[in-house]
């Protein structure tokens, strides 16, 4: 079932949670709503679910106007950040709940309910836990029960509100892969809210990035990673979690790396740490910046170098692979020449992209 979000606005007192957000999610798609806290992503999810009413705009489910429909009538499955399992019911009863509360006319027979619950518990690999209570399970297991419970009523849309954020990193990664497999198996239209860019980029078919209640960009993970539409998206996707480094900003403002005719105006340039080339000698024909090595982090497959630009002392980070690092054999305090393989330039207030170029500046 497709979801159309049209010009949704939501205000909490003087705080604008959502400001004219529109997006369309195709049937069977898995879309991640990504953004920092306070960006409105959870509010949007709750409005799609019918748990919150928008101040303006409308929600269309399968092309049908649904803004006024109550949450219990929308045929959705919702998975909460803190599981929200019924603590006084067994795992079996938790999963069966949605079927048991159906009106007598459409409620399946006891036998059918039993079969369906058993089948779902098998799907989430918890069939041996049916008689246990939620507090006897680990966080990851509880969230799988919550997913089985949401799927029991055969929802046309599955909504997940930061489902893995309360779990530790390893379990989170496992569940993420597992969610993707379940989605590929069932093809339920799924919306996942997360503040974890790695999670969004890895799991989703498309990622929608929200900031201050506005939709910044929506696209496939590769598209938004390769072509961020705004400095915010660039910064947000370049977080330490994904790249284990900070962005290098302002190379062009420093003067030496600006190569285009447009350099008459001030601009912000973005280069990811791994897109920087390093050399001990001044390269021919390349415009480079002279920097000095402040610190070296050599643990892991990539070596991260904290550098500072000679003169201004502005800090930046570069990442090189191990082989290259051994060739360079740098130690802290040494001078090094740095140039970008690719760079993206925005004008100084970040409103307009000036240059989005791959290799070969």
Partner 1 sequence: MSGRNHSDLLKPSNAQRVGRVALIAAALAFLALFLLLPVTIVFTQAFSQGWAIYRASIYQEDVLSALRLTGLVAAIAVPLNVLFGISASWAITRFEFHGKSLLITLIDIPLAVSPVVAGLMYVEVFGLHGWLGPWLSDHNLHIIFAVPGIVLATVFVTFPFVARELIPFMQAQGSDEEVAAVVLGANGWSVFWRVTLPNIKWALLYGTILAASRSIGEFGAVSVVSGHIRGLTTTLPLEVEMLYNEYSFTAAFAAASLLTLAAIVTLVVKKIIEVTSGVHRHGEEKESES
Out of 88, 105, 111, 181, which residue is the one contacting partner 1 (CB under 8 A)?
88
What track of x and - describes contact with partner 1 for positions 118 through 157 (by CB under 8 A)?
-------------------------------xx-xx----
Task: Report the 10 Å Cβ neighbour count for 116.
Answer: 18
Of the two residues 51 and 253, which places its CB atom closer to partner 1 in the complex?
51
CA angle, residues 258, 292, 245, in degrees to nearest 5? 75
Task: Report the 10 Å Cβ neighbour count for 219.
Answer: 17
Residues from 333 through 352 that contact partner 1 (CB under 8 A): none
Handedness of CA 43, 45, 48, 49 (dihedral sign): negative
Of the two residues 77 and 231, which places its CB atom closer to partner 1 in the complex?
77
Distance CA 192, CA 248 (A): 30
Residues from 16 through 75 that contact partner 1 (CB under 8 A): 49, 51, 70-73
Out of 84, 123, 132, 294, which residue is the one contacting partner 1 (CB under 8 A)?
84
Q: Are 159 and 191 in contact, with CB atoms under 8 Å apart?
A: yes
Task: Report the 10 Å Cβ neighbour count for 54.
Answer: 23
- Burial of 6 from C-beta contacts in 10 A (0-12 / 13-18 / 19+): middle
Residues from 253 through 282 that contact partner 1 (CB under 8 A): none
Q: Does 78 bind partner 1 (CB under 8 A)?
A: yes
Helix (H, G, I), strand (E, B) or coil at 4: strand
Q: Which stretch in 79-87, 203-211, 240-248, 344-352 sits in contact with partner 1 by CB under 8 A?
A: 79-87
Of the two residues 96 and 209, which places its CB atom closer to partner 1 in the complex?
96
Distance CA 275, CA 359 (A): 9
Q: Does 183 bind partner 1 (CB under 8 A)?
A: no
Residues that bind partner 1 (CB under 8 A): 49, 51, 70-73, 76-78, 80, 82, 84-89, 97-98, 101-102, 149-150, 152-153
């Amino acid at each position: 079932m497709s979801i159309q979000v049209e010009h949704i606005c939501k205000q909490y007192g003087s705080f604008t949670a959502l400001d004219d957000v529109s997006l369309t999610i195709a049937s069977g798609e898995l879309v991640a709503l990504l953004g920092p806290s306070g960006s409105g992503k959870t509010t949007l999810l709750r409005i799609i679910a019918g748990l919150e009413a928008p101040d303006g705009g409308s929600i269309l489910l399968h092309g049908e106007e649904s803004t006024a429909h109550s949450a219990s009538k929308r045929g959705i499955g919702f998975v909460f950040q803190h599981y929200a399992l019924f603590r006084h019911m067994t795992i079996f009863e938790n999963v069966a709940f949605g079927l048991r509360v159906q009106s007598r006319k459409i409620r399946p027979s006891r036998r059918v309910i039993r079969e369906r619950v058993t089948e779902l518990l098998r799907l989430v690999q918890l069939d041996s836990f049916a008689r246990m209570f939620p507090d006897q399970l680990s966080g990851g297991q509880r969230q799988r029960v919550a997913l089985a419970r949401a799927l029991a009523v055969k929802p046309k849309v599955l909504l997940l509100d930061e489902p893995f954020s309360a779990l530790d990193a390893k379990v989170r990664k496992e569940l993420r892969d597992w969610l993707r497999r379940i989605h590929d198996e069932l093809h339920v239209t799924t919306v996942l809210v997360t503040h974890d860019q790695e999670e969004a980029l890895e799991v989703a078919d498309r990622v929608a990035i929200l900031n201050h209640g506005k939709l910044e960009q929506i696209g496939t993970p590769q598209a938004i990673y390769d072509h961020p539409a705004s400095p915010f998206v660039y910064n947000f996707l370049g977080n330490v979690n994904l790249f284990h480094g900070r962005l290098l900003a302002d190379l062009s403002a420093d003067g030496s790396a600006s190569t285009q005719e447009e350099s008459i105006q001030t601009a912000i340039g973005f280069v990811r740490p791994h897109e920087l080339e390093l050399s001990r000698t001044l390269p021919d024909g390349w415009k480079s910046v002279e920097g000095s090595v402040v610190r070296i982090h050599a643990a892991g497959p990539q070596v991260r170098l904290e550098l500072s630009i000679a003169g201004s002392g502005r800090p930046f980070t570069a990442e090189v692979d191990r082989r290259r690092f051994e060739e360079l054999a740098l130690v802290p305090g040494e001078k090094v020449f740095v140039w970008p393989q690719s760079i993206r330039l925005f004008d100084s207030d970040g409103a307009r992209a000036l240059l989005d170029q791959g290799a070969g500046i």
